[in-house]
Structure 1
């Protein structure tokens, strides 16, 4: 784990951590409401590899109203950020019927479709309007 974080920028606390998380979403053209974080302990990012990690005090469940989708964010979230994509994502699950399959990848389609895809390890891919994940949603 420490090797993955080598050379990373680390921000501690809710305010600084949230700023870093939002700046990463902006920089990589991802919807700003994608990570509704609470009680952030630490956010880190290694520019050379794209590795990102987020530590929160407690698990957060957030309902994206526009698409009526409940998403669970674990206390530890990790993944690799690229332009319009987060891959090898861990710590995020979306409720599907009675199951909570983990989301392993998030891909924002190139404009003008305005769509975002969520892929799970179980092979499930769901596509939603990207603006359902805009800031404030």
Structure 2
């Protein structure tokens, strides 16, 4: 367990049942008004949330790559993903990288600044950012049902 998680574990809600973990990860995204396919993690073994600090963590059995088909982007999720969350924002994000041409770029901030324009912004620690349609991050099975 990372030191960051250990420092926020006290007073946090922690879940370790895989079914509950998946449910809690989706509830979190809904609560902060983010697309439900933003964290397509598998085999989640722990979800924790410290309501006082806004810190959340998700642990999965193994790292995962996921391709967002609508925008052709490959994203890598580590075994541990952490962030401080608030409405329409995940900041100080760890454990998420996006493939840009030939290199993996760390994503440190995800936000939706204007819910009307339906764009989601991804920023790196260096301040570079890109925007995509938020709909590209909806769970694909749900999109297929429509």
TM range (shorter): over 0.9
Partner of 1:101: 105
Aligned-pair CA distance for 1:135: 1.9
For residues 1-137 of structure 1, the aligned pairs below 5 Å read: 1=3, 2-136=6-140
Output the aligned Cα RMSD. 1.1
* TM score, norm. by length of structure 2: 0.90
Give the unaligned 5+ runs of structure 1: none
Give the number of aligned pairs. Answer: 137
**4+ runs of 1 displaced by more than 2 Å?**
none
* TM score, norm. by length of structure 1: 0.96
Aligned-pair CA distance for 1:136: 2.1
Give distance in 1, aligned partners of 2:140 and 2:113: 21
Give the unaligned 5+ runs of structure 2: 142-146
Whether the aligned pair in 2 keeps the contact of 1:85 and 1:105 (CA below 8 Å) is yes
